[in-house]
Amino acid sequence: MASILFVEDDPSARTALELALTRQGHRVTSRATGEDGLEALRARRPEIAILDVMLPGIDGIEVCRRIRRGDPLPVILLTARGDDLDVVLGLEAGADDYVVKPVEPRVLDARIRAVLRRAETRADIAAYGDLVIDRASLKVTKAGTDVRLTPTELRLLLELSRRPGQALTRQHLLAEVWEHTYPGDSRLVDACVQRVRAKIEDEPAEPRLIETVRGFGYRFTAP
């Protein structure tokens, strides 16, 4: 069960999903605009935010971007069918996942639970050059400085670094990190890899830790 901030401007859709998620046991705070959503977030931090992309005023992508400036809070975007540009922009803004509208409540509930499970992995401490991954405390540092990763970014890094030198397909990463396997969602993997590289690589444009295996996937290479 999770505390959820749900931002949706359509009253009927907002009421229906709020009721459905409440029936699933979640605690839902709903708002109609991006501005009100950010205000609610400042008043009380939820465990996850669900944002409709098409909001009046500040849209869902901008809300996600503002959240990401200082908070690894998990974010799921709701996007209209076929709006690939919205999906790409949302993932680049730091969203952990997206669900296509019209939304099936059970699908959304499953995605919520999957996103929240990503922060539950436990293991040991490993060092790769100046990058240190503490799997027990779920902390990552680079040159002694904390690296702020979202739960999804952290789980992706854990999955890649668990098998150094091994090439992992996008479909494998999608199944292990996002817990769903629709082939079209492979862009979730690519966008998340780019965000992780920006945080852990010395030169993100020339990555040395997370290598691209062309036409296949990605490989974590220990220095």
**Sequence ranges of the domains in the chain:** 3-123, 126-220
- 56 with 76: CB under 8 angstroms? no
* Residues in contact with 26: Cβ distance below 8 Å, sequence separation at least 6, in sequence order: 1, 2, 3, 4, 109, 112
CA distance 132 to 128: 6
| Closest by CA position to 218, among listed 184, 177, 190 | 190
| Closest by CA position to 57, among listed 40, 35, 37, 85 | 35
Domain 126-220 class, CATH top level: mainly alpha
Alpha-carbon torsion, ordered 148, 211, 97, 195, to 10 deg: 40
* Residues in contact with 38: Cβ distance below 8 Å, sequence separation at least 6, in sequence order: 58, 63, 66, 67
Number of H helices, E strands in the chain: 8, 12
| Closest by CA position to 9, among listed 65, 57, 80 | 57
pTM beyond 0.85: the answer is no
Give CA separation, 126 vs 140, 145, 161, in Å: 10, 15, 9
- Tens of each residue's pLDDT in the chain, 223 residues: 789 999 999 999 999 999 999 999 999 999 999 999 999 999 888 989 999 999 999 999 999 999 988 778 899 999 986 668 888 888 899 999 999 998 999 999 999 998 888 745 444 677 788 899 988 778 899 988 999 999 899 999 999 998 788 899 999 999 999 988 777 788 899 999 999 999 999 999 999 999 999 989 999 997 7
The reported pLDDT for the residue numbered 122 is 43
Tokens (6 digits) for 33: 């605009």
CATH T-level fold of 3-123:
Rossmann fold (3.40.50)
What letter would DSSP give residue 177?
I
